[in-house]
Structure 1
Amino acid sequence: MKSERGILFILSGPSGVGKGTICKALRAQKLNIQYSVSATTRNPREGETNGVEYFFKTKDEFLKMIEQNELLEWAEYVGNYYGTPIEYVNQTLDEGRDVLLEIEVQGALQVKKSFPEGVFIFLTPPSLDELRSRIVGRGTETEDLINNRMSVAKEEIEMMKHYDYSVVNDEVESACDRIKSIITAEHCKVSHVQPKYEKMFRS
């Protein structure tokens, strides 16, 4: 049984930067890390399944979760709510397993206040033109919504200064390799390793 608590990794960045694509690629590599499923009030996109990509909730259901303090963080983004169920995250970390949260920037900054020991990774696009192209490529947003997302994205990129690492999503495999390197490095930090040896000395 592992004696040390797992590490909470937070991956976020502007809408359209490819957070979901990166997490899907990391899942395919079967890393020793748990992927936390967020709750949201937005409609499922084609191919998304409730309880896999997200827990899809009605607005009333989501507001009830807020009232009952069942969320580690939550945010309203472009008319929809997003949040992270806290019970699953804490239970997984206590079992000594790492957790990866894929959340919006507003939510990540909330987590930073309550989980300052978390590792915060900001996923960036190669350029703003490329970001716009990816959002347009979804084929799910109107021109007004695309412009709104781009405006929000510029504000979010300015929040990068609050993160520990920045990873450019120029190519999925390369971005995944960088994130895996971050995970390895964090597990080698003295602040993570030392408590295990202190317990050995006391036993």
Structure 2
Amino acid sequence: MNAQAASQKTGSSGPETGARRRGLLIILSSPSGAGKSTLARRLIAWDPAISFSVSATTRPPRPGEVNGREYHFRCREEFSAMVAAGEMLEHAEVFGNLYGSPRGPVEEAVEAGRDTLFDIDWQGGQQIANSPLKSDTISVFILPPSIAELRHRLETRGQDSAEVIAGRMAKARDEISHWAEYDYVLINRDLEDTAARLIAIVTAERLRRERQPGLSPFVLGLNREFEAQP
């Protein structure tokens, strides 16, 4: 069985037990430019059964972005009303715009045994880690190999003005200071190697004893087999 097929099998049940586990909330965070969005895409390419959490935001759409695909685009009043109604699992203001994860789709995915991936900052990660879904959450922080390389990546991707890049670099130090709040930390020196380590983390977390609800009855069955022996 290849890695993807194995991941999809363990995505719905514990190994050979037939019992469906709860879905995982997989949090990826990093300073802008460290590679978390690319790694998120690699993880979903490895296992398409993982769904990407579509955030809501008050920032205007960029060229080519579609409402409901990249983001749920909302005005500030609509976003604030969702927060007030408890409809956001997490939310934060970043560079003058509000971002948040609608709660309903995430809870439905967890109950159905589907994993959800979050590409969010440390503020959102902390809110989810302290939410009622904290036992279903794993968090991974991505570090750049150096600050010089971080700046180089921001400059060469050609998405932001010099002013925006300066703002992202100023914010990076504060973001990196929260690395110790995460379950796992990966230094993204090489994309292929980092993606492989991220996949290994998710595979191992899916197989944790407490995430395999069918293990207890399976072991009871083994004990009954012992007792039935002559």
Provide the TM-score with structure 1 as the length reference.
0.89
Aligned residues, how many? Answer: 201
- State the 1:5 CA deviation: 1.0
The 5-angstrom pairing of residues 77-88 of structure 1 reads 77-88=94-105
Tell me, in whole angstroms, the C-alpha distance in 1 between the residues paired with 2:189 and 2:62: 24
- State the 1:2 CA deviation: 4.5
What amino acid sits opposite 2:216 in the alignment?
E
The 5-angstrom pairing of residues 59-98 of structure 1 reads 59-98=76-115
> Helix, strand or coil: the match of 1:174?
helix
- Percent identity over the alignment? 40
Given candidates 29, 32, 38, the residue that maps to 2:55 is 38
The 5-angstrom pairing of residues 19-58 of structure 1 reads 19-58=36-75
Describe the superposition over 1:63-111 as per-residue Cα deviations: whole angstroms up to 9, x where unpaired. 1211111100000011111100110011001001111111112111111
RMSD: 2.1
What amino acid sits opposite 2:120 in the alignment?
I
What amino acid sits opposite 1:198 in the alignment?
S
2:56–2:99 Cα contact (<8 Å) kept: yes
- State the 1:186 CA deviation: 0.7
What amino acid sits opposite 1:68 in the alignment?
A
Unaligned runs of 5+ in 2: 1-17, 222-230
Matched, 1:3 2:20: yes
What amino acid sits opposite 2:112 in the alignment?
E
- State the 1:57 CA deviation: 1.8
What amino acid sits opposite 1:95 in the alignment?
A
Unaligned runs of 5+ in 1: none
What amino acid sits opposite 1:169 in the alignment?
N
Tell me, in whole angstroms, the C-alpha distance in 2 between the residues paired with 1:75 and 1:182: 27
Tell me, in whole angstroms, the C-alpha distance in 2 between the residues paired with 1:21 and 1:122: 14
Task: Decide which structure has the larger Cα Rg and report it.
Answer: 2
Tell me, in whole angstroms, the C-alpha distance in 2 between the residues paired with 1:169 and 1:48: 27
2:59–2:98 Cα contact (<8 Å) kept: yes
Tell me, in whole angstroms, the C-alpha distance in 1 between the residues paired with 2:204 and 2:31: 25
Given candidates 31, 44, 61, the residue that maps to 1:14 is 31
Matched, 1:154 2:170: no
Tell me, in whole angstroms, the C-alpha distance in 2 between the residues paired with 1:14 and 1:146: 12
